[in-house]
Structure 1
């Protein structure tokens, strides 16, 4: 189409105006928390790590599933309906604890079972289909904890395979390199994490990677965590204090006498609340100095704790996390520490409301 100078200038002015409006609209959507799922043509590199952490704002752990040596062995087999339930309840993300080493060859190159990998592919697809972000959490590697040097190459091979396999996935698929490092891994955790991160970054330069301090990701070990320069890291911590309340009756728990704690209540006294707020303050102070967003990746209480106390406890932690701008992940969906009753096929409404008030669903 041939146009004169005036018409051409008007046309260019109109187009520039439209482009500016489109850019403004896009930025408004992103920074108002609009879902990236509605913007599939936008390159994922345009999304900053704080926004990505926002997708984890209300996360639920789906444990006792893939962290079992075999799915179903601990009482839960993941179904497509689970993702629909979780989304309808108001959650924004799921965290999948996965015992990868139970599905890897025992000799180099430590290949992941392709059938199991396909199962995780399916879980990712179901999460994204339901507009849920998803965390792939490397969970329960007892051998690495006890003999990190012996299982060093297997650890790195895992992340080489996963980072290559999932390099094409959107940023709503997030990696957690190792949940709750402890024992012998503690002293060298920073080095092992940096090595795994370098492998991930070869094929996933903007993949959100979640990392926490040594000794079970506990708050008081934050000063032992030394993170490399990287724009796509999310700090995680786990919180289960006081253990006399959260772990009562849990015979597997390795500290104290859980059976003697049965009947412990959490009353929501000012002193009890202060303990939680001081812990969250400490996390916030550390994260601000480091310039890291925070994901409170696990908190919860076992099934021996009374429901009223649990609701108070959940509400207090959730409020403190949100007050400090943290995303959070409740532990757990079903089987144990459960929010959902598989037998009755219903949520424990008092607990769900403590986490997600009705107006937020």
Structure 2
């Protein structure tokens, strides 16, 4: 979820990726601190060692660091090069801190093109139809792999374009060019960093349904990703067109939602995992802090993730107030959100701290 607002529209055009793929052999070793049970943070918030120290104190074992270079370029009036350079500085700072506290970082970037004046986003049909525009993702992958190639277990994986999709005429489509682009991304990363894990999500977006008819990538160190915000009418209530007043468990989108319904919507990925014996990571999941029953929703999801042996990272740390655990559980607009800030004594933080107590940082994947 690159920005606060997510979406759920009519999904169409589901088909298997057309890359040359084979069933992978399980890697000899797991990613550091696997399964990841952590939280998402953004480079735009300038996180530092104090943040990592706190997360370590509550037993978080992994963070996804989203490099929001495009957002920073627009906000701070930077060139793309300046913004990417600043993002790398932030990433190195967080990696150094995570090394100190034996935590693992997933470096993720999805705001491509980085230049906000390009007139395109990664959802634009024109971006996916133009090979020269798409090449920017490969160039960025090369930059990241070359910069971080000597990192140790503090860097767990790279993720490039975590929600591949084309938004066109109120539809979400999986880009036809995504298989070849991802193959190029993997090839470029492997030139510089041959053993690091790489995360792939089939698309459209981060939906589990994208794993229908999907085949594993021909690489030993691939993690298969998903984002979970369904049902959107519940998780995004009070945001843009989604009305307040949806409860969990309860009815949304004309059906009853409970833990069994959540598992059903993730079933294509569950079947894919069971068939191919692959690693799965839910890079984002959340619910608006004011959504009634959101704590139960999160507990039910995490129970399912743990049941299936998946890694996960909660969205998000010090981000937009609707997702941030630093605020209370009452609805607020952007204008009056500050009145609802209560720091780490919130109901959401209490829930997350309780869940993180079950983590391990000293298991079979402990950093060396």
Q: Is 2:36 aligned against 1:57?
A: yes
**Cα distance 1:240–1:144, how it changes in 2: closer, same or farther (>3 A)?**
closer
**Cα distance 1:208–1:224, how it changes in 2: closer, same or farther (>3 A)?**
same
- Provide, for residues 63-118 of structure 1, a one-character-per-residue CA deviation record: whole Å limited to 9, x for no partner: xx43xxxx3xxxx4323211111111221100112224566966xxx787434422
TM-score of the pair, normalised by structure 2: 0.71
* RMSD between superposed Cα atoms in Å: 2.8
Deviation at 1:122, TM superposition (A): 1.0
- Provide, for residues 226-281 of structure 1, a one-character-per-residue CA deviation record: whole Å limited to 9, x for no partner: 44311110001111111111001112xxxxx31xx212111379852211122344
SS state at 1:282 partner = helix
Q: Is 2:138 aligned against 1:167?
A: no
Asked if the contact 1:49–1:231 (Cα under 8 Å) also holds between the matched residues in 2, the reply is: no
SS state at 2:205 partner = helix
Structure 1: unaligned runs, 5 residues or longer: 1-46, 252-256
Alignment of 1:1-361 (within 5 A): 48=27, 51-52=30-31, 54-62=33-41, 65-66=42-43, 71=44, 76-101=45-70, 113-141=84-112, 143-146=121-124, 147-148=127-128, 149=130, 150-173=132-155, 174-183=157-166, 186-223=175-212, 225-251=214-240, 257-258=241-242, 261-267=243-249, 272-306=258-292, 309-334=293-318, 335-336=320-321, 337-341=323-327, 343-350=341-348, 352-353=350-351, 356-357=354-355, 360=358
Deviation at 1:217, TM superposition (A): 1.5
Find the aligned partners of 1:144 and 1:121 in 2 and give their Cα distance.
Answer: 25
Richer in helix (by share): 1
- Provide, for residues 6-29 of structure 1, a one-character-per-residue CA deviation record: whole Å limited to 9, x for no partner: xxxxxxxxxxxxxxxxxxxxxxxx
Find the aligned partners of 1:111 and 1:358 in 2 and give their Cα distance.
Answer: 36
**Cα distance 1:171–1:350, how it changes in 2: closer, same or farther (>3 A)?**
closer
TM-score of the pair, normalised by structure 1: 0.73
Count of aligned pairs between the two proteins: 293
Find the aligned partners of 2:94 and 2:355 in 1 and give their Cα distance.
Answer: 27
Asked if the contact 2:102–2:154 (Cα under 8 Å) also holds between the matched residues in 1, the reply is: no
Deviation at 1:49, TM superposition (A): 6.8
Deviation at 1:327, TM superposition (A): 0.9
Asked if the contact 2:224–2:279 (Cα under 8 Å) also holds between the matched residues in 1, the reply is: yes
Deviation at 1:282, TM superposition (A): 2.9
Structure 2: unaligned runs, 5 residues or longer: 1-25, 113-119, 168-173, 328-337, 360-368
Richer in strand (by share): 2
